[in-house]
Chains A and B, each alone.
Chain A
Amino acid sequence: MTPRRPNSPRPLFLLIPGLIAIAFLVIPMVGLLAEAPWGSFGAILTSQVALEALRISMVTSIAATVIAIFIGTPLAWLLAREILPGTRILRAMVIVPLLLPPVVSGVILLTAFGRRGLVGQWLSSGLGIQLPFTTAGVIVAETFVAMPFLIITMEGAFRSLDGRFEDAASTLGASQWTIFRRITLPLVGPSLVAGAVLCWARALGEFGATITFAGNFPGVTQSMPLAVYQALETDRSTAIALSLVMLTVCVVVLVALRGRYLRPTAS
């Protein structure tokens, strides 16, 4: 008699809903591929609307990511070390844009940076800077919505960093700046890459806050998602082709981060 081997359990009450879920997620993507205008793909993507939307998306999402890296990383460090008073409240404030409907983020930005907004009136009358309905406005909207992804990722990285490395560097004579540049940053490097990519992908997909705060002007504020939205009403195949480009970008990002996000996480 052979001993009874434990099979990996496959209870139907989990199997069936699970398969429905995966079908629900995958079938629409297959649908997109099926309906893709493969014949006119090249022409659509080289059309002026598509090229301009692509350019604006790239410029604004990269700018938003760079801004997030330069101001979000220091904030993440401050939060991780709990240097600022009210760190818990500040951390909650950072997470708010993640939970907020993006259109509400757009409204918030208008009340702050709009022509008659709290900061906006000062910006426009004092410095002559207009943010709403400009490319800069798109960058502001994307940064507002996407930066929390970078901050949260980096705060975790700074938190889990062994403080003795920084202590050791300090006793060896390194200044705070040298420690941050040569020890802290390299050690959190992989997280910085992951956080930046997440932040960039979110900025690239930004729609609600952008259209509310910056409007939908081709060549100025019309990024890819906005172009898809507009094309859908007039030219379905263009919308599908542009959507396919964005889907491809997402898959590429996932593959690039495969080590981090395609693996089950314990926590």
Chain B
Amino acid sequence: MTVVANFTAQRGEFTLEFDATFEPGTVIAILGPNGAGKSTLLRAMAGLVAASTGSIKINGVVVDDSQNTFLPPPARSIGYVFQDYALFPHLKVLANVAFGPRSRGLGRKPANRLALEVLTKIGIAELAGRLPSSLSGGQAQRVALARALATRPQVLLLDEPLAALDIETRAKIRLELTEQLSAFSGCTVLVTHDPLDAMMLADRVIVLENGAIVQDAKPAEIARRPATPYAAALIGVTLLRGTISNGELKLDQGGILHTADLDVAGPVLAVVRPESVSVHREQPAGSPRNVWPGTIASLQAAHDRVRVQVDGSPAVVAAITPAAVADLGLAPGSQVWLSVKAVEIDVYPTVKH
């Protein structure tokens, strides 16, 4: 189920140039600003847009060689979750989910049985008789995923699957999605402009800007060394895995951070924004709960800030002003103290990797 996508696609004046190979069982996040070509990429893989040059191969089969071969969407084993879900408004949830299997030749009864099975697996069997207009955003997202999975696709394409949800629901559905995607054996391509989605859901992140790949790396790598100002501004956060209880976060890489989240327990992903990390020459006295020493590994200018990569337990990125860098006399190898307020650390429950 490897996908080899090496093609260009045209959308009006805009050209997308893409070249990447997706391995089975992985989740790839396509991260980029609006108009970067993220949706065009998904539409080309699904066969809703034809490649202008190059080719797309799914599981060894050429689905589009931009010349003579073009398999239309029904001939590709693709599950597509559209932005805003595009659930068929005139069909009940069960019929929406059964639509794929029926279109692929299953009779009404077996298709309905399969649909109910998929709904049950995702935990929303009770929605079977409802119309899409009566669903909440989170419910509609689950139904859209069930509908896409019901055809047992080899490749799952998700276009901004969480963008339509409010913040609270988003955190919950994101966690659910993590579990469902890890159970999916094919490869998943997830388009998002939310770095947190990319960080939490994906094994690999491809940053797309102006129709071209600007970075292709593991989430942690992208967070550590963002290749462009956009990536730095968006995902230049420090991500830390660990286990939390009573607000005390034991990090997998060593070290302990105190957080303000007293209700969460178990494996979590903690996000430390560079702006919330303070850098000192002497050990600071006072209120911050988290104070630890470190060594500066690198300094990198990004926009009006300097990104300071500091090794320590944990290693983090701090963003400070050029003036502060000069005042503190920072250079690679400098010994510094770091501090972060407990309330500045965001914690997201996750599944153990």
Contacts and interface: CB of A to CB of B under 8 A. Distances in A.
Interface in A53-92: none
B72 A170 contact: yes
B74 A173 contact: yes
B86 A172 contact: no
Contact of A171 (B80, B84, B89, B90): B80
Contacts of B84: 164
A169 interface: yes
B88 A171 contact: no
B82 A169 contact: no
B99 A171 contact: no
A189 B79 CA distance: 28
A168 interface: yes
A167 B48 contact: yes
Contacts of B147: 172
A169 B76 CA distance: 13
A189 B91 CA distance: 13
Contacts of B74: 170-175
Contacts of B103: 169, 172-175, 178
B86 A168 contact: yes
A183 B100 CA distance: 12
B90 A169 contact: no
B104 to A, nearest CB: 4
B78 A168 contact: no
B151 interface: yes
Nearest to A186: B90
B48 A165 contact: no
Interface string A157-189: 000001011011111111100100011001101
A164 to B, nearest CB: 4
- Most B Cβ at <10 Å: residue of A169, A173, A175, A183: A173
A172 to B, nearest CB: 4
B73 interface: yes
Interface in B137-152: 147-148, 151
B46 interface: yes
A165 B84 CA distance: 11
Interface in B261-279: none
Given A167-B48, A167-B82, A172 B89 contact: no
Interface in A187-205: 187, 189
Contact of A168 (B76, B88, B90): B88
A169 B88 CA distance: 9
Interface in B148-163: 148, 151
Interface string B150-178: 01000000000000000000000000000
Contacts of B86: 162, 164-165, 167-168
B151 A168 contact: no
B46 A172 contact: no
Contact of B90 (A162, A170, A187): A187
A174 B99 contact: yes
B80 A168 contact: yes
A29 to B, nearest CB: 39
Contacts of B100: 172-173
Given A165-B86, A167-B86, A172-B147, A182 B99 contact: yes
Nearest to A164: B86
A226 B73 CA distance: 54
B79 to A, nearest CB: 7
A168 B103 CA distance: 12
Interface of A: 162, 164-165, 167-175, 178, 182-183, 186-187, 189
21 contacts: A164-B84, A164-B86, A167-B86, A168-B88, A169-B88, A169-B99, A170-B48, A170-B72, A171-B47, A171-B78, A171-B80, A172-B74, A172-B103, A172-B147, A173-B74, A173-B104, A173-B151, A174-B103, A175-B74, A183-B88, A187-B89
Given A171-B48, A172-B104, A187-B90, 17 more contacts: A164-B86, A167-B43, A167-B86, A168-B80, A168-B82, A168-B88, A170-B72, A170-B74, A171-B46, A171-B73, A171-B74, A171-B78, A171-B79, A172-B100, A172-B103, A173-B100, A174-B74
